[in-house]
Amino acid sequence: MPMAAARATRRRTPRMRETVAAVFAPTSLGLLLVAASQAGVFALLLGDSERALRSDFARRFPRMRLRAGDDAVRKAMAGVVRFVDRGGVLPLVPLDLRGTPFQLKVWDALRRIPHGRVTTYGALAAKVGDPDAVRAVAGACARNPVAVLVPCHRVIASTGRLHGYRWGLDRKHLLLAREGVMLL
């Protein structure tokens, strides 16, 4: 994905309560929850039910409350749903990434992996300047709250096989197949 295709702000999760816009939508990968602040999308979660997604959101963002999304969030959701269901190019969606400095560095590197390409956890660790931080990189991928738009599905094991995906290996395989990636 070209870097111009998404803009990211960098800040940590706020200490005060925040109410954010959210939209749920069915996709071929399951139900999708997109949550956005005024700055952009900061959560894109995949799940099997609205209840499970609300629970996952509450666990990840305990100081935030969801409210019904507005037209801007629905428009972002429509582009993401099209990408998830049909592949193609990731939509232009402003991002409001929230994480530690190391996580933000890893997520930025993930966004630089071209559409239809994969990398390994080791190569990604080297890309962020710490080749010995393979496990920390895998942890940052696992904590990525913006599925698909921060494409952690493009990271595979050094063996060339699928490994680890917060939302399940079947979903990872399907996303990669839609990008034209064929694995062992």
Taking CA atoms, 58 is separated from 110, 114, 144, in Å, by 25, 32, 15
Please state whether beta strands 30-36 and 41-47 pair in parallel, antiparallel, or not at all (unpaired): antiparallel
Please state whether beta strands 95-97 and 8-10 pair in parallel, antiparallel, or not at all (unpaired): parallel
In three-state secondary structure terms, 133 is coil
Catalytic residue among 110, 152, 175, 176: 152
| 152 part of the active site | yes
In three-state secondary structure terms, 110 is helix
Q: Which residues are catalytic?
A: 152
